[in-house]
Amino acid sequence: MNDNEIKALISLLDDEDQEVVQHVETRIRQIGGQLIPYLETEWEGSFNASLQKRIEELIHDLQYQSVLERMQAWKNGGAMDLLEGLWVVATYQYPDLSLEKLRQDLEQLYYEVWVEVKADMHPVDQVRALNNVFFNKLKFAANTKHFHSPANSMINQVLESRRGNPISLCVIYMLIANKIGLPIYGVNLPNLFVLTYKAPAGVQFYINVFNRGLVFSKNDIDHYIAQLNLKQSDIFYQPCSNLDIIRRMLRNLTLSFEKNGDAERVKEVERMLDFIKDDEDSLPLSDYSQKS
């Protein structure tokens, strides 16, 4: 369709015949996200509140469909780039967010850290040096005041506010650490996402980024799991995949919207989760305890 045909189609959204309107909406959804700029122009030029609401709903549906397509493409591509997965999640609420801008923001954080963390340091000293920059210089911290806010699952918001939940703080910390060559990975603990430093030489310990980078041991995890009356499992000790991380972030987002009473967004995020769920995905971990 050319510009004139698209504009003529969109103008029919204001038709008095509801069958015509329904047909036009179906056709717009079939064409897809390329029509969003035309819809936005129509919205800006309209003084009809009901038409504006109809256009807003159409734009949201088209943007949401794009998120689902990106999510599926990311998974089908092997889920290799964690930042891309985080970007896809964030485009659910920030459809115009630039992946390249996120890369640039993380690159800047990397430059702040790499001068302080030396390759010849002991692993624990490397983590302490990284902690010093991450928490004291860059001012990242736990968002305990608004723990259930959906913003905690949006990487652009966390990068801007420097406040996040356990998993969002961990992924930013991990992305920086990996860029400077540290073997740091995510670990799926119940109610608390943490990191592990796991070197090929056999050195392994754990990092609680939500508690300002506290270093702890396998024995601490043993005690933690025992307190929760859970059976020990490798998932609580070993690195998890990028897919595991994005699934957990989406579960957190679902619970955030549940807390806000936003049932429609809960359904939409659950559908996003379905697009990347495996049949073996039987342990629905999140960063929220049952009490919270």
What pLDDT score was predicted for residue 279?
A: 53
Task: Give the span between the Cα atoms of 128 and 175, in whole angstroms.
Answer: 16
Domain count, the chain: 2
What pLDDT score was predicted for residue 210?
A: 96
**Is 92 found in the same domain as 186?**
yes
Residues 6+ apart with CB under 8 A from 117: 126, 129, 130, 133, 180, 182
Q: 198's torsion region: left (phi>0), alpha (psi -120 to 50) or beta? A: beta
Residues 6+ apart with CB under 8 A from 216: 205, 206, 207, 208
**Is 149 found in the same domain as 20?**
no
Give the neighbor-by-neighbor strand order of the sheet with 192-198: 184-189, 192-198, 204-208, 214-216
Q: How far is CA 177 from CA 101, 196, 220, 227, 283, in A?
A: 19, 11, 23, 31, 27
Residue 283 lies in a domain: no
Residue 175 lies in a domain: yes
Residue 117 lies in a domain: yes
**Is 41 found in the same domain as 179?**
no
What pLDDT score was predicted for residue 278?
A: 73
**Is 149 found in the same domain as 52?**
no
**Is 178 found in the same domain as 51?**
no
Per-residue pLDDT of the chain (292 residues; tens, 9 = 90+): 778 888 888 888 887 788 888 888 888 888 888 888 888 888 888 888 888 888 988 999 999 999 999 999 999 999 999 999 999 999 999 999 999 999 999 999 999 999 999 989 999 999 999 999 999 999 999 999 999 999 999 999 999 999 999 999 999 999 999 999 999 999 999 999 999 999 988 899 999 999 999 999 999 999 999 999 999 899 999 999 999 999 999 999 999 999 999 999 999 999 999 989 875 554 557 777 543 3
Task: Give the span between the Cα atoms of 89 and 93, in whole angstroms.
Answer: 8
What pLDDT score was predicted for residue 290?
A: 41
Residue 284 lies in a domain: no
What pLDDT score was predicted for residue 289?
A: 57
What pLDDT score was predicted for residue 264?
A: 94
